[in-house]
Amino acid sequence: MTEDRLFTIDDADAELSELRVRLPRLREARQRLIDTSERITSSVAIDGGGVEGSDWFRSQETLKQELLRLADRGILLRDPETGLVDFPAERDGERVFLCWRLGEDHVCWYHSEGSGFSGRRRL
């Protein structure tokens, strides 16, 4: 993980095209994992999970790969459902997070380390 990486607005914007592909994949894998877990629980007594177990492992691997990819890039996933991510940055000498959510055109928001999404301000 690139813990010390700080993003500029341009750096963060450069990540968006890939994030627009990866975040829905991550969200879908997470949801399949949840759905499959429920089905496995129901069917495990009958057939040990069967095909549902295979889907679970594939979804788990996809989710793991996507999360590791984000971590390797230094991008912090905040909410997999909405595709909310933070990019560590510095603004006016203060550590902040550039904040972006799937569906937004560009990185246009930031917040302090302690405030989170509710403290978002326009750049």
**Residue 68 maps to a domain:** yes
**Residue 27 maps to a domain:** yes
**Residue 3 maps to a domain:** no
**Residue 1 maps to a domain:** no
Cβ distance 20 to 102 under 8 Å? yes
Report pLDDT for 45.
54
Report pLDDT for 1.
45
**Residue 25 maps to a domain:** yes
**Residue 118 maps to a domain:** yes
Cβ distance 121 to 92 under 8 Å? no
Q: Is the pTM of this model over 0.85?
A: no
Task: Print the domain residue range for 84.
Answer: 9-122
15-19, 40-44, 85-89, 112-116, range with the lowest pLDDT: 40-44
Which two three-digit tokens encode residue 119? 């403290």
Q: Please check the confidence at residue 49 and state whether its pLDDT lies above 80.
A: no
Handedness of CA 120, 3, 105, 31 (dihedral sign): negative
Query: Rounded to the nearest 10 degrees, how much is the dihedral formed by the CA atoms of 101, 93, 121, 9?
Result: -40
**Residue 69 maps to a domain:** yes
Total domains, the chain: 1
